[in-house]
Chain A
Amino acid sequence: MAASEHIVGRGIGNKLILFTVVLVAVIWMLPIAWTLLLSFKPNSELMISTASAFRAPYTLKNYTDIFQSSGVFRWLWNSAVVSVGVTVGILVLSSLAGYGFARAEFKGRDIIFVLVLLGLAVPEQAVIIARHQMFSDLKMHNTYPAIILPGLSSAFGVFLMTQYFKAIPKDIDEAAMLDNASRFKIFWKVLLPLTIPAQATLGIFSFLGAWNDYLWPLISATKPEMFTITVGIASTQTNFAQSEGLGFLMAQAIFAGLPVFVVYLFFQKYIVRAVAGAAIS
């Protein structure tokens, strides 16, 4: 009797949790659904009232207009190059730095590690003028390296990889050393494969961050042929886009978010693990 009551109670509890989760998910989805709905409406109708979103006519013109913009595929390509470049760079540098901080013994290691972590507390805006001047002096603006290089200094990446390497038992290194493996070989062949989950997490966050970045590309990539998709799409907005071109604006938001959505679709397993892992730690 007591056991069945317990099961019934657990069933109600589970249903309540499920209901709450679904409710929160629906609330979470509403802005996206609203954005999607508005993106199929003519701008002129939305200017008078967004309530017209719930009735015909609907149109694909807002999306076809995006593709009519001569630079859009070039901007997509630029974003892809920058995002992949930043992601690969961060993975390489953060793994090497993380391994160094976790395994190597050298003078001032802890102080340097703290200095690296301080980077987490410095907002990009605080250094952006100095950074811009530096790249100006190097005459590098409007190039891929100029957009990619600042993104490689990832304090978060170094921290994450350091912690991950530290969590791997040193016995594994010592066993490999007994087999005469070099330090690089231990790093490359033994430890690095064990950090794949962390690499995936870091890679996803780095890719999404680089894809969505706006401020630095805005002032470094100032020629239309070097715009990333975020800067390029923003440039196509009319001055009063929120009233005169609301449907177009929403279509741009959906379009720019699509690649990110695809990344989430394919890598959601890792993202969930990453978030859960962060919560536990």
Chain B
Amino acid sequence: MRKLTTALLAGLVVTAGASAALAADKTEISAARFFGACEADYGTVTDVTKANGECGIITALINKFNADSKTTVVKPEIVEWPGYDQLTARIRSGEPPTISVMHEAVISDYSSRGLLEPLDEDFAKAGVDVNDMTDAARQGVTKDGKIYAMPFDTHTWLWHINMNLFKQAGLVDSAGKPILPKSTDELMKQAQQFKDKTGKPYFISTLANETAFYTRTFDTLLYQQNADFFADPNKVNFSSPEAKNAAQLLADIFAKDYTTKNQDYAASVSSFAAGDGGVFICGTWLIDTYDQEAKKEGAALSKGYAATAFPQIYPGSPRVWADGHSWVLLKQDLSEAQRASAIEFMKFLWDNNYEWSRTGHLPVRKSIIDSDAFKNLPHRGDIASLAVNGTALPSAVKRQFSIQEIEGEEVGSAMRGDKPVDQALTDAETRVNELLANAK
């Protein structure tokens, strides 16, 4: 018995030693990311197909990579969204992570200061086919002709629709599809019809405590009118008739009570699930959540949920606001092995982009958009066009997060009637241009 115990202990020691040696042979890189922590549910999951949600899928992806890679260990460093104050502080103190998640709208702020490594050659060597990137993704990660990031997803604005209320309002066609407006006049008529038939507002909107709704919807309405409001990347133009049209439309929707009011993000998400309105203009990431609601008996969305691309209500174009998550390699004194490991991990994420698209975000690869696997995911066939029509601000525009904040504040003032439309647009233009004049 004692011999057996000794042999078992010896075996354990040898195994542990071998594991440690193997781990020590691997190159460690750090990956800063948001998306939260969910070690309780996914800390040891390496089968990515069993993970759900942003946090679950990214955790499982990193687990799987670490289990499979013979050369690299990725150490996740989780930060609070969006994490740019912390990232900038780390760069300044000379201790940046090896790679980091970054919104594509932010890349130009860092690339223009020489803080990111261009990745074209690395991708070519690693076998990443950049021609397989969707237009939205490639535009998002390309600055001054160079690719600065591995695109991870495209997220855009779309319409979540309560089909049960749409039926009640007589806004469903014979094929069971929602009847959507094709012009601003139709939009206002349908909104009135919806209100008359259901007693509820047509829209549920996130109008309180954040500016995303205003900016993203306003930009979408400008794109639809082909308004080139950043013809000069250093100067915005909100003095156009198109800008006035867009802001006035939002103000009219508010004034005629076609939308819920005073709801913040959480309230509006709940409100749509509770059946308080017909259309919730929000992001791709809510598709799976509402799809689960639609499967519940007795829920407001029970067997009555649809997601569709933002309908084109101006004759110009079907383009829609978009941004994307991507992975960047921070400029620092990296060894060849560390750089190779970073690219190896990025290539792994590229290869597994379908898994990430299960979050509701759109894939960044044309081949995945066209695949049956993606099309068979709930509602994805109805929104695949967004990968083509999703449009970011021109890459040369700096301080995009700050610009969007200002734009949202002023458009929000116009929509709620706090300021006349003309005044709000003038103020937005002045404030953005002051910001850009000081942007280096």
Contacts and interface: CB of A to CB of B under 8 A. Distances in A.
B43 A68 contact: yes
A141 B53 CA distance: 34
Nearest to B81: A239
Contacts of B274: 48-49
Contact of A69 (B39, B79, B93, B293): B39
B279 to A, nearest CB: 18
Interface in A208-249: 218-220, 222-224, 231, 234-246
A136 interface: yes
Size class of the B contact interface (CB-based, 8 Å): 35 or more
Interface in A99-133: 132-133
Contact of B293 (A48, A65, A68): A48
Interface in B264-286: 264-266, 269-270, 273-274, 285
A94 interface: no
Contact of A244 (B34, B94, B289): B289
Contact of A142 (B92, B95, B270): B95
A248 B77 CA distance: 20
Contacts of A219: 85-86, 89
A218 to B, nearest CB: 6
B167 to A, nearest CB: 21
Contacts of A47: 269-270, 273, 289
Contacts of A236: 36-37, 78
A77 B89 CA distance: 23
Nearest to A231: B80
Contacts of B269: 47, 240, 243
B219 to A, nearest CB: 20
Contacts of A243: 265-266, 269-270
A235 B80 contact: yes
A195 interface: no
A172 B432 CA distance: 64
A136 B39 contact: no
Contact of A235 (B79, B95, B266): B79
Given A50-B270, A219-B89, A240 B80 contact: no
Contacts of A142: 93, 95
Interface in A47-64: 47-50, 61, 64
Interface in B30-62: 34-41, 43, 53-55
Contact of B78 (A64, A68, A224): A224
B93 A234 contact: no
A224 B34 CA distance: 13
Contact of A239 (B36, B40, B90): B36
The main secondary structure of chain A at its interface with chain B is helix
Given A223-B77, A223-B95, A49 B35 contact: no
B95 A141 contact: yes
Contacts of B90: 222
B89 A222 contact: yes
A182 interface: no
B40 A135 contact: no
Nearest to A220: B89
Contact of B93 (A65, A141, A238, A240): A141
A48 B89 contact: no
A139 interface: yes
Contact of A222 (B86, B266, B270, B285): B86
Interface string A127-170: 00000110110010110000000000000000000000000000
Interface centre among B77, B85, B266, B269 (most CB of A within 10 A): B266
A238 B54 CA distance: 8
Nearest to B264: A242
A133 B92 CA distance: 7
Contacts of A64: 40
Contacts of B38: 65, 238
Given A68-B40, A238-B54, A246-B266, A48 B92 contact: no
A183 B89 CA distance: 45
28 contacts: A47-B273, A61-B40, A65-B38, A65-B40, A69-B39, A70-B43, A132-B92, A139-B94, A218-B86, A218-B89, A219-B85, A219-B86, A222-B90, A223-B95, A231-B80, A235-B37, A235-B79, A236-B36, A236-B78, A237-B36, A237-B81, A238-B36, A238-B38, A238-B54, A240-B265, A240-B269, A243-B269, A243-B270
Given A135-B93, A139-B93, 13 more contacts: A48-B274, A64-B40, A65-B41, A70-B39, A133-B92, A141-B89, A235-B78, A237-B36, A238-B38, A238-B53, A242-B264, A242-B266, A243-B269
Ranked 5 nearest A-B pairs via Cβ = A238-B36, A68-B40, A236-B37, A219-B89, A65-B40
